Amino acid sequence: MKNTFTLCLMAVAGFALAGCKTSGPDASHFARLDTSPAVAITNTLSPDLLKPPTDMFVLGTGDKLDIEMQGNASTRASVTVGMDGKIYYLLLPGVDVAGLSLTQARERLEKELSKFFNQPEISLSLKEIASKHVWVVGRVNHPGTYPINGAMTLIEALSVAGGTAESPSLVTTQDLADLRHSFITRHGKLLPVDFVRLLKEGDMSQNIYLQPDDFIFLPSSLYQAVYVLGAVTNPRSVPYTDQLTLVSALANVNGYLRDAYVTHIAILRGSLNQPHIMVVDYKAIISGATTDVPLEPGDIVYVPLTPYRFLVDYADLITTTFVNAWSADMGVRVVEGSGNIGVAVPVSNGAATGK
């Protein structure tokens, strides 16, 4: 899988780059790296993500089954795969079916029942899936977890969740989901899906197939904040104001840790899929050698424990830290029942530090 970054570098970081040119609306703080070789990677989704899964559905804890010995209606029963991976049916002391397909489970049941019955034939059907889900949370109309038993695309999952929420105002249909910062993770890794292209432009090249436990999050576009992560005392989101700068944002999180490498603080701006990165020397700012950096809503400020030489790796670390922090926050709220998973909440923990 390749991740893509349109990378920019700010000369105040102590990385004096000959030939840097400013461009775009953020030219006063971001400088595009036009020197050779250019630090940019073309963003493409792995073709494998766009292929339907070929793995056969297998049973897991919580799945419910209907079982009946053919020709004997009195043996009809509904059973649930227990925490031990077993089902309990008729005289059987417990049959381990976790990880088996329905065909394999039926064959195992028939084998065990043959100890008590003559050539038993079993009818086995899946009544309810509880072992495999995808998470769809944030600014959708029906956030929650949804069962997945085979091929399900991202669009299908969002549709099951009622689609993205919109403003109820009669004069606007403003989308309440921040698509630039929406993301999907798999096994803790960010998948390079562009939600703007998918949902606004109808680009089906972004419509990947999902796997169990995929985490889809669409944050609120109404929550204006800057996210301060990494080696800081209290990593979290800071409410945005017009006066918010790098210095004041760090003050809001009670400063940085003792071993933090503050000459390489990064500010990530733009979409998660194609961010711009600026590396700032915080010591130069507080000494008066350079000016403070005004922040914008959605900026991610990251304080490392070590310097970074490769901006692509640095940007990847920051986006991974950001999405894992959001995922941890939302997961805790769901498990504890402490909040509405349909709205954005501040990132309060789970931030990784440097490497």
Sequence spans of domains, the chain: 8-44+223-336, 49-54+132-218, 64-128
Query: Residue 2's pLDDT is what?
Result: 42
Answer whether the bond into residue 37 is a cis peptide, omega within 30°.
Answer: yes
Query: pLDDT tens digits for 157-181?
Result: 999 999 887 755 444 445 688 898 8
The low-confidence residues of the chain, meaning pLDDT below 50, are 1-42, 169-173, 344-345, 349-355
Query: Residue 180's pLDDT is what?
Result: 87
Query: Residue 15's pLDDT is what?
Result: 35
Query: Residue 220's pLDDT is what?
Result: 84
| Topology adopted by domain 64-128 | wza like fold (3.30.1950)
| Topology adopted by domain 49-54+132-218 | Outer membrane lipoprotein wza fold like (3.10.560)
Query: What CA–CA distance (Å, rounded) separates 109 from 94?
Result: 10
Length of the chain in residues, anyone?
355
Two domains, one topology: 8-44+223-336 and 49-54+132-218: yes
Q: What is the DSSP letter of 25?
A: T
Strand, coil or helix: 240: coil
Query: pLDDT tens digits for 250-275?
Result: 999 999 999 999 999 999 988 888 88
pTM of the model: 0.72
342, two tokens: 């349909």
CA distances from 185 to 58, 178, 182, 236 (A): 22, 16, 10, 20
The 10 Å Cβ neighbour count of residue 257 is 14
| Topology adopted by domain 8-44+223-336 | Outer membrane lipoprotein wza fold like (3.10.560)
